[in-house]
């Protein structure tokens, strides 16, 4: 019995190590406004966006405009030509920033990419000298909720009907230590 438990722990440890190796290898790239690959990156992301999110939660139709807004940024990671995940953030005021989108393509999930993307986005927000990063999440999105809690986001309030009449959101926040 003991041997079986140790074996299970070893397998879990190996899986975790492999997970972090993949995330460590992944390069997180910031999409630059005048870059030659702007159209391709945005097209690929819009395709992923349509697959992952229901219409009322998707930015597919407005992604390009959202990105062109001042004070917003997009980070993504890719393997070969394939975009595996992305995070969009903005800093509408000098006080706070928002994570407006986070997604990892299904076949790339569970490998540490979502966490890495989010951490890099948080660091980008931190460099804007804001006090707080906030976001909205459907409480039924278990993986996202776990990830936000892991990175110490706290629930601020429940916003009823945020996504649609029958879909609510938690507003969550992470405060920076401004010492
Ligand atoms: C949420 C999402 C971005 C996570 O990406 P990911 O690359 O699979 O996540 P990671 O491998 O980096 O996991 C990091 C942490 O997230 C949490 N997590 C990830 N997948 C999870 C799952 N299936 N169940 C519970 N928690 C999970 C865990 O806390 C995990 O840390 P751990 O491995 O130490 O337990 C991804 O599931 C996704 O794109 N979901 C659909 C879109 C979405 O919900 N976006 C957020 C909208 S607000």
The answer to whether 134 and 126 are in contact (CB under 8 A) is no
What are the DSSP E strand ranges found in 48-175? 72-79, 82-90, 96-104, 132-137, 154-164, 167-175
Lowest mean pLDDT among 11-20, 68-77, 85-94, 108-117: 11-20
Average pLDDT, stretch 63-81?
A: 90
Spell out the domains of the chain, with CATH numbers in brackets.
26-175 (3.40.630.30)
With a 6 A CB cut-off, is 114 part of the ligand 1 pocket?
yes
Confidence of residue 67 (pLDDT cuts 50, 70, 90): confident
For the stretch 125-147, pLDDT in tens is 999 989 999 999 999 999 999 99
With a 6 A CB cut-off, is 77 part of the ligand 1 pocket?
no
Tell me what pLDDT residue 119 has.
Answer: 98
The answer to whether 33 and 69 are in contact (CB under 8 A) is no
Residue nearest to atom 19 of ligand 1 (CA): 143
Count, residues in the chain: 179
Tell me what pLDDT residue 11 has.
Answer: 64
The SS3 assignment for 11 reads helix
Residue nearest to atom 7 of ligand 1 (CA): 114
With a 6 A CB cut-off, is 97 part of the ligand 1 pocket?
no
With a 6 A CB cut-off, is 15 part of the ligand 1 pocket?
no
For the stretch 156-175, pLDDT in tens is 999 999 999 999 999 999 99
Residue nearest to atom 17 of ligand 1 (CA): 147
Rounded to the nearest angstrom, the distance between the alpha carbon of 148 and the centre of ligand 1 is 9
Confidence of residue 117 (pLDDT cuts 50, 70, 90): very high
Confidence of residue 5 (pLDDT cuts 50, 70, 90): low
For the stretch 23-46, pLDDT in tens is 999 999 999 988 999 999 999 999
With a 6 A CB cut-off, is 84 part of the ligand 1 pocket?
no
Q: Strand 167-175: give its sheet, edge to edge.
A: 29-30, 72-79, 82-90, 96-104, 132-137, 167-175, 154-164
Site to substitute for ligand 1 among 49, 56, 88, 109, most atoms within 8 A of C-beta: 109
Determine phi and psi for 133, rounding to 5 degrees.
-115, 130
């Amino acid at each position: 019995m003991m041997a079986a438990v140790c074996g299970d722990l070893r397998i879990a440890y190996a899986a975790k190590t492999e997970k972090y190796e993949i995330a460590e290898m992944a390069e997180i790239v910031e999409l630059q406004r005048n870059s030659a690959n702007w159209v391709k990156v945005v097209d690929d992301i819009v395709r992923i966006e349509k697959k992952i999110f229901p219409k009322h939660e998707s930015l597919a139709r407005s992604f390009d405009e959202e990105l062109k807004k001042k004070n917003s940024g997009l980070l993504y990671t890719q393997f070969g030509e394939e975009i595996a995940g992305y995070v969009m953030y903005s800093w509408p005021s000098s006080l706070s920033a928002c994570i407006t989108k986070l997604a990892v393509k299904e076949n790339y999930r569970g490998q540490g990419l979502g966490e890495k993307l989010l951490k890099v986005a948080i660091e980008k927000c931190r460099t804007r000298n804001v006090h707080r990063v906030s976001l909205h999440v459907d409480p039924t999105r278990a993986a996202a909720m776990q990830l936000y809690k892991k990175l110490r986001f706290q629930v601020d309030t429940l916003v009823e009907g945020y996504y649609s009449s029958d879909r609510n959101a938690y507003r969550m926040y992470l405060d920076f230590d401004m010492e």
